[in-house]
Structures are given as structure tokens and as C-alpha cells.
Amino acid sequence: MIIKSISPEHIDEIVKIENDSFSKPWPEQILINYIKKPGFFCNVAISGENEDVAGYSISTLIYDQIHVFKIAVSRCQRKKGIATELLSDTFNFYEKMGALSVILEVGTTNAPAISLYKKLGFEIIRTRKNYYGRNEGDAFVMGLALDCYYQKLLSAT
Ligand SMILES: CC(C)(COP(=O)(O)OP(=O)(O)OC[C@H]1O[C@@H](n2cnc3c(N)ncnc32)[C@H](O)[C@@H]1OP(=O)(O)O)[C@@H](O)C(=O)NCCC(=O)NCCS
């Protein structure tokens, strides 16, 4: 499995993963707009001989804070460390540009994603009520200080 920057040939597979992963997926054109937007970092995990897209993430840097907007992994490739690799690649990319922290929103009932973020060292900062629409679910705002993330990595090696 390798992590690389998104290119146009990955879009179709990303759209399939997006539609299969979210109850309110972003339409293809919105995904394309984000991927092309200057200042946005988008990476993909590529696996197998056919170079299939196994997962992707989309993020940006605002001042010294990374904002992760999207991360998803193909259903059949989950629990193999792919999301962890995509986020690690994202943090390393922005750390060189002076990023100090990471922030994201996650559904309060999205146990796999919350567990992923907690494993990386994220903490819940607050809850945003009705983040996904009225009566459609709340979100946790989760944050991570990058120095804690790298310290944790060092102590695990
Ligand atoms: C959340 C998601 C991106 C995780 O991707 P993944 O590649 O399977 O994650 P990883 O293999 O890197 O998992 C790392 C850790 O996250 C946690 N985790 C991941 N999936 C989990 C699950 N189904 N149940 C419980 N914990 C889970 C575990 O702690 C795991 O470590 P472990 O394998 O040592 O137990 C994936 O489930 C997904 O695409 N979900 C749908 C889209 C989504 O919800 N995106 C997040 C929006 S905020």
C-alpha cells in the first residue's frame, strides 16, 4: 500500500468510496472542487496490482492548524491501518509548513472514527449540536497537538 497525492484518474473510485461511506456523501463536483482548490492537501492510499484506491483524505491548513474535512477507506480495506497512514502523511506534510495542531468534526455516534482519532491522540474539545442538520446528529469537535502526536510516535518505537 502506498500513499500519494490525488490525481484526476482517482476521482471515480473516490466517488464510489464516498457514496458507500457516508449517509450524506459529497457530490462528485464538490469533491473535484476541493481536490483542485489551491491550499488543499488531498492524498490517496493505493493498494494491489491494479493500483486500486483504498482510501483518501482532504484537508487544509488555516494559520498553524490542520483542518481535516474528509477521510474514508473502502469498506473491504478497513482495519488495516490505512486511515492511520493517510493521516500520518497529512500531518507530516503540514508539519513542514509550521502546523502545530489538528482539528476535525466527527459524528458523536461514529464509533470507528472516534476510536481512530483517540488512538492517534485526539481529544474531544466540545459538542456541536445538530451539526449534521436538525435532528440529524451532533458532532464532536476533536483536536490534537502535533507535538503530542510525534512524542507518542517516538515513545512507541
Ligand atoms: C473511520 C475509518 C476512516 C477508519 O479507517 P481504517 O483504515 O479502517 O482505520 P485504521 O485501520 O487506521 O484504524 C486505526 C484504529 O482506529 C480504530 N478503529 C478503526 N475502525 C474501527 C472499528 N470499526 N471499530 C472500532 N475501532 C476502530 C481502532 O483503534 C484502530 O486500531 P486497531 O486496528 O489497532 O484496533 C473508516 O472506518 C471509514 O472510512 N469509515 C466511513 C467514513 C467515516 O466515517 N469517516 C470519518 C468521518 S469523521
What pLDDT, in 10s, does the model give residues 119-138? 999 999 999 999 998 888 99
Mean pLDDT of 77-91: 98
Going by alpha carbons, the residue nearest to atom 30 of ligand 1 is 116
0.75 exceeded by pTM: yes
Mean pLDDT of 74-85: 98
Going by alpha carbons, the residue nearest to atom 33 of ligand 1 is 79
**Mean per-residue pLDDT over the chain, rounded:** 96
Phi, psi values for residue 79, rounded to 5°: 65, 30
Q: How remote is the CA of residue 121 from the centroid of ligand 1, in Å? A: 14
> Count of domains in the chain?
2
Q: Measured between alpha carbons, how far is 36 from 67 in angstroms, rounded to an integer?
A: 17
* 118 band by pLDDT with thresholds 50, 70 and 90: very high
Q: Which atom of ligand 1 is nearest to the CA of 106?
A: 48
- DSSP secondary structure string, 103-114? EEEEETT-HHHH
Indicate whether 44 and 80 sit together in one domain. Answer: yes
* 157 band by pLDDT with thresholds 50, 70 and 90: confident
Q: How remote is the CA of residue 122 from the centroid of ligand 1, in Å? A: 14
Tell me which residue range forms the domain holding 148. 100-157
Indicate whether 90 and 110 sit together in one domain. Answer: no
Indicate whether 9 and 20 sit together in one domain. Answer: yes
Q: Which atom of ligand 1 is nearest to the CA of 85?
A: 12
Pocket-forming residues, ligand 1, beta carbon under 6 Å = 21, 71-73, 78-84, 106, 110-113, 115-116, 119
Phi, psi values for residue 155, rounded to 5°: -70, -15
Indicate whether 80 and 11 sit together in one domain. Answer: yes
Indicate whether 13 and 78 sit together in one domain. Answer: yes
- Is residue 145 within 8 A of residue 101, CB to CB? The reply is yes
Residue with cell 495542531: 101
Q: How remote is the CA of residue 90 from the centroid of ligand 1, in Å? A: 16
Q: What is the DSSP letter of 25?
A: P
Nearest to 146 by CA among 65, 83, 47, 75: 65
Phi, psi values for residue 150, rounded to 5°: -70, -35
Name the pairing type of β-strands 65-73 and 101-107: parallel
Indicate whether 113 and 127 sit together in one domain. Answer: yes
Q: How remote is the CA of residue 80 from the centroid of ligand 1, in Å? A: 9
Q: How remote is the CA of residue 113 from the centroid of ligand 1, in Å? A: 5
Indicate whether 56 and 36 sit together in one domain. Answer: yes
What pLDDT, in 10s, does the model give residues 11-61? 999 999 999 999 999 999 999 999 999 999 999 999 998 999 999 999 999
Nearest to 92 by CA among 71, 84, 117, 122: 84
Q: Measured between alpha carbons, how far is 64 from 57 in angstroms, rounded to an integer?
A: 19
The pLDDT of residue 92 is 98
* 10 band by pLDDT with thresholds 50, 70 and 90: very high
- Is residue 35 within 8 A of residue 11, CB to CB? The reply is yes
Number of C-beta neighbours around residue 90 at 10 A: 23
